[in-house]
């Protein structure tokens, strides 16, 4: 028996290239449909989980899908905004407390989320290092951001300009990292969290500059009218908020009119949630409230439909591959006809000959099946992360 | 220790082929050539002797054992253990090297264990037949003459009492065919084996002890050189 397996092994070794191609093709055919189903199911579960944990979202009128994806995943280019005043309106109903989100900017591809300390508590995010944001210009990094940018507490993270060709646009703001979050295996791992006022500073709604009342700035003042001072462009603007210059940072205008991308209302109970939905649907037309679970479920319906089409395509390719593999096996058996004849004449039994011939087929199928199982396990373990990395890069 | 063919009869009904042979006795150490025109039944005779085919009438007796009375499995095992076979187109396995081709028959035989001693014996035979240095070479890298010598090594490894060769020099150039055949004949003489060879090549007949013209034999004519 060992001698037969030895001979079979010699055959496999000699024809390794042919067999490797076959194994590759069959493994793909087995693995692909299972991998796609696994990844889609895991993605769906993650999407629904995030949506279930964020039942309601309030945002500007427009695409519910964009609002849901923006508020849950911070993935939107230029989100429509509502005013900060809406936060007070939500709390004034008495049905819910409100968490603001402003996710217009990013730092080296990672979304900067302007919010308040309640957001971290709401998501049950824990600190691996450092502390929450306490001052203007401080930032807390999601676990993936810290790892990818190789940053730790005390380092700096710089916001990216929205458009490098717009010289009157948003300037980079250098922010101090004061905390690193533990991995939450959610989009929060990819985000840079700052106080919402810091995100307004990034936008230029608030700023800090040298003191124009000081005598040293007299040459830069163009006009002085009571508390209003008009200066020329040589005034030094701060692109970093430090203990020395934080007092000079100030906002012009009314906070209540400043922008937010979305508001997460945290309803006191289900009844309050229902009443809040009713309130917004009946009385307010300038904002929309949505049940994120429903929006995500509709998105998943589309994804599942696409998956089914992919399945049909893969099944057709799989059938073709199986037929080709069968043809290869049959041709191989035909090519080995002389070998079978020789072995029989020398004195090999039919059983020995069948075993030798079957080893090629069974080894290909066995190795393909083992590889497929390994790949499926790897896909179930790492598929989502790899897919997210591919999409993000 | 002789090979006796007793009044063998065989036919292929669907091909209209009938074969009839009077009694022949071949003694140990005797080298016999079988000649005859195509279709006269030379290869059929070898297959009958090997036990691949069973005669309708008559017996094939080797060392007193009537092979024709054995069942297919016993004939196969007897062939595997006590006979060596050499074919015109060598019939070597292209995915094996010289060593594994020589050891092939031994690997198929459940009574034999491929151990160091057997491997050493195989190596000695390979060296004797002038294949020194080709021990782990793949068959496809060898010349035609070298391949046939590997086939001879395979046939001789298990020290068979009977060597059956079907046109063993058919694919070789004149120099190689004589060299291979002389080695084979010398070995059979030395070890008292019976060599039964089918050949079309009349230039080689002087090498053999006896030549049987199978067409003439049908008319009870046996020629001896």
Where does the pLDDT of residue A132 fall: very low under 50, low under 70, confident under 90, or very high at 90 and above?
very high
Determine the pLDDT at residue B171: 72
Position A300 pLDDT exceeds 90: no
Considering only CB atoms, B80 lies closest to which of A338, A341, A347, namely A347
Report chain B residues whose CB lies below 8 A from the CB of A19. Answer: none
Please give the biggest Cα pair distance in chain B.
51
The predicted model gives A331-355 an average pLDDT of 89
Report chain B residues whose CB lies below 8 A from the CB of A342. Answer: 87, 91, 93
Q: Is the ipTM of this complex over 0.90?
A: no
Domains by residue range for chain B, with CATH: 3-217 (3.40.50.300)
Where does the pLDDT of residue B43 fall: very low under 50, low under 70, confident under 90, or very high at 90 and above?
confident
Report chain A residues whose CB lies below 8 A from the CB of B114. Answer: 3
Determine the pLDDT at residue B221: 41
**Which DSSP category does A23 fall into?**
H
CA torsion, ordered A14, A18, A19, A23, to nearest 10 deg:
160
Nearest CA in chain B to A11: B95
Test A349 with B52 for CB contact under 8 angstroms. no
CA A169 to chain centre: 27
Determine the pLDDT at residue A283: 60
* Residue A231 or residue B54, greater confidence: B54
Q: What is the pLDDT of residues A60-111, one digit of tens each?
A: 888 888 888 888 888 776 778 899 988 888 888 889 999 999 998 889 889 9
- Tell me the shortest Cα–Cα distance from A28 to chain B, in angstroms: 28
CA distance A255 to A209: 20
The predicted model gives A278-285 an average pLDDT of 75
pTM for this model (two decimals):
0.64
Question: H or E segment at B15?
Answer: none
Determine the pLDDT at residue A165: 67
The predicted model gives B19-34 an average pLDDT of 90
Where does the pLDDT of residue B50 fall: very low under 50, low under 70, confident under 90, or very high at 90 and above?
very high
CA proximity to A357, closest of A376, A335, A379? A335
- Tell me the shortest Cα–Cα distance from B52 to chain A, in angstroms: 7
Report chain A residues whose CB lies below 8 A from the CB of B94. Answer: 14
Q: What is the pLDDT of residues A154-186, one digit of tens each?
A: 999 998 877 666 666 667 888 999 999 999 888
Residues of A in CB contact (< 8 Å) with B are 3-4, 6-7, 10-11, 13-15, 338-339, 341-349, 352
Output the CA–CA distances (angstroms, integers) from residue A339 to A1, A278, B112, in the order listed. Answer: 19, 81, 21
The predicted model gives A19-32 an average pLDDT of 88
Is B184 near chain A, with CB under 8 Å?
no
CA distance B117 to B166: 30
Q: Are B194 and B5 in contact (CB under 8 A)?
A: no
Report chain A residues whose CB lies below 8 A from the CB of B80. Answer: 346-348
CA proximity to A126, closest of A195, A71, A68, A186? A186
Where does the pLDDT of residue A55 fall: very low under 50, low under 70, confident under 90, or very high at 90 and above?
confident
Q: What is the pLDDT of residues A79-88, one digit of tens each?
A: 788 999 888 8
CA distance B211 to B194: 14
The predicted model gives A192-211 an average pLDDT of 86
Q: What is the pLDDT of residues B183-204, one digit of tens each?
A: 889 989 999 999 999 988 888 8
CA A211 to chain centre: 42
Position A360 pLDDT exceeds 90: no
> Residues 111-170, chain B: which have Cβ within 8 Å of A?
114
* Residue A214 or residue A160, greater confidence: A160
Give the list of residues 6+ apart from residue B33 with CB closer than 8 angstroms, or none.
Answer: B197, B198, B199, B204, B205, B207, B208, B210, B211, B212
Q: Are A294 and A61 in contact (CB under 8 A)?
A: no
Give the list of residues 6+ apart from residue B82 with CB closer than 8 angstroms, or none.
Answer: B62, B158, B160, B161, B162
* Residue B225 or residue B178, greater confidence: B178
Report chain B residues whose CB lies below 8 A from the CB of A348. Answer: 80, 108
Q: What is the pLDDT of residues B121-155, one digit of tens each?
A: 999 999 988 888 899 999 999 988 889 889 999 99
Q: Are B195 and B32 in contact (CB under 8 A)?
A: yes
Considering only CB atoms, A339 lies closest to which of B80, B85, B93, namely B93
Considering only CB atoms, A345 lies closest to which of B73, B77, B85, namely B85
Q: Which two tokens stand for residue B15?
A: 């091909």
Query: Can you say whether the dihedral through the CA atoms of B31, B37, B38, B39 is positive or negative?
Result: negative
Three-point CA angle A200, A203, A205, nearest 5°:
60
CA distance A30 to B14: 48
Query: Could you state, in order of their start, the residue ranges of all structural domains in chain A?
Result: 2-46+300-392, 61-208+249-286
Determine the pLDDT at residue A112: 93
Average pLDDT, chain A: 85
Nearest CA in chain B to A345: B52
CA distance A392 to B170: 70
Place of tokens 């998501």: A123
Kindly write down the DSSP assignment for every residue of B158-204, as one continuous string. T--SEEEEESTTTTS-HHHHHHHHHHHHHHHHHHT-EEEEE---GGG
CA proximity to B85, closest of B177, B165, B182, B186? B165
Output the CA–CA distances (angstroms, integers) from residue A52 to A45, A284, A298, B224, in the order listed. Answer: 10, 24, 14, 101
Test A347 with B114 for CB contact under 8 angstroms. no
What are the φ and ψ backbone dihedral angles of A157, each rounded to 5 degrees? Answer: -125, 135
CA proximity to A89, closest of A291, A276, A292, A278? A276
> What is the CB neighbour count within 10 angstroms for residue A270?
9
Q: What is the pLDDT of residues A1-21, one digit of tens each?
A: 688 889 999 999 998 998 899
- Of the residues B91, B154, B160, B198, the best mutation for testing chain A's interface (the one with the most A CB atoms within 10 Å of its CB) is B91
Where does the pLDDT of residue B222 fall: very low under 50, low under 70, confident under 90, or very high at 90 and above?
very low
């Amino acid at each position: 028996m060992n001698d037969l397996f030895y001979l079979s092994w010699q055959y496999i070794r000699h024809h390794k290239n042919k067999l490797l191609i076959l194994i590759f093709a069959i493994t793909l055919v087995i693995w692909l449909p299972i991998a796609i189903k696994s990844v889609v199911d895991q993605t769906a579960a993650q999407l629904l989980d995030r949506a279930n944990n964020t039942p309601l979202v309030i945002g500007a009128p427009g695409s519910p899908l964009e609002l849901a994806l923006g508020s849950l995943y911070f993935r939107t280019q230029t989100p429509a905004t509502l005013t900060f005043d809406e936060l007070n309106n939500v709390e004034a109903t008495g049905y819910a407390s409100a968490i603001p989100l402003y996710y217009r900017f990013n730092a080296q591809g990672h979304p900067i989320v302007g919010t308040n300390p309640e957001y971290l508590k709401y998501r049950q995010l824990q600190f691996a290092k450092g502390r929450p944001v306490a001052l203007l210009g401080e930032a807390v990094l999601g676990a993936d951001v810290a790892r990818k940018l190789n940053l730790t507490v005390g380092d700096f993270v710089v916001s990216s300009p929205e458009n490098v060709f717009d010289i009157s646009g948003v300037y980079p703001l250098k922010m101090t990292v004061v905390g690193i979050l533990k991995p939450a295996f959610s989009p929060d791992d990819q985000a840079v969290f700052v106080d919402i006022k810091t995100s307004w500073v990034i936008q230029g709604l608030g700023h800090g500059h040298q003191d124009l009342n000081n005598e040293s700035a007299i040459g830069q003042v163009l006009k002085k009218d009571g508390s209003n001072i008009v200066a020329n462009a040589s005034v030094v603007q701060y692109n970093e908020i430090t203990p020395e210059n934080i007092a000079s940072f100030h906002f012009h205008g009314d906070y209540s009119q400043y922008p937010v991308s979305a508001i997460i209302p945290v309803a006191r109970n289900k009844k309050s949630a229902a009443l809040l939905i009713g309130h917004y649907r009946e009385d307010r037309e300038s904002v929309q409230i949505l049940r994120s679970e429903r929006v995500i479920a509709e998105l998943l319906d589309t994804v599942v439909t696409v998956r089914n089409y992919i399945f049909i395509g893969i099944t057709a390719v799989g059938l073709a591959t199986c037929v080709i593999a069968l043809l290869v096996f049959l041709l191989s058996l035909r090519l080995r006809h002389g070998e079978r004849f020789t072995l029989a004449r020398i004195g090999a039994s039919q059983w020995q000959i069948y075993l030798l011939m079957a080893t090629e087929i069974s080894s290909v199928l066995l190795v393909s099946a083992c590889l497929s199982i390994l790949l499926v396990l790897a896909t179930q373990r790492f598929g989502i992360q790899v897919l997210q990395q591919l999409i993000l890069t | 220790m002789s090979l006796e063919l007793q009044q063998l009869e065989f036919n292929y009904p669907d091909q209209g082929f009938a074969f009839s042979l009077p009694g022949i006795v071949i003694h140990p150490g005797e080298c016999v050539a079988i000649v005859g025109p195509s279709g006269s039944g030379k290869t059929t005779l070898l297959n009958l002797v090997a036990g691949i085919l069973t005669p309708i009438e008559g017996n094939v007796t080797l060392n007193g054992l009537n092979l024709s009375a054995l069942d297919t499995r016993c004939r196969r095992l007897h062939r595997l253990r006590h006979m060596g076979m050499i074919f015109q187109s060598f019939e070597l396995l292209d995915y094996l090297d010289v060593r594994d081709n020589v050891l092939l028959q031994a690997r198929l035989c459940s009574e034999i264990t491929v151990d160091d001693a057997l491997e050493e014996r195989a190596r000695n035979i390979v060296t004797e037949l002038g294949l020194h240095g080709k021990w782990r070479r793949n068959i496809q890298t060898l010349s035609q003459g070298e391949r046939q010598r590997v086939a001879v090594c395979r046939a001789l490894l298990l020290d068979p009492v009977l060597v059956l060769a079907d046109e063993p020099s058919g694919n070789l150039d004149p120099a190689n065919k004589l060299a291979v055949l002389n080695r084979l004949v010398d070995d059979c003489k030395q070890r008292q084996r019976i060599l039964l060879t089918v050949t079309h090549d009349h230039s080689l007949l002087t090498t053999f002890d006896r030549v049987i013209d199978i067409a003439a034999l049908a008319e009870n004519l046996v020629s001896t050189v």
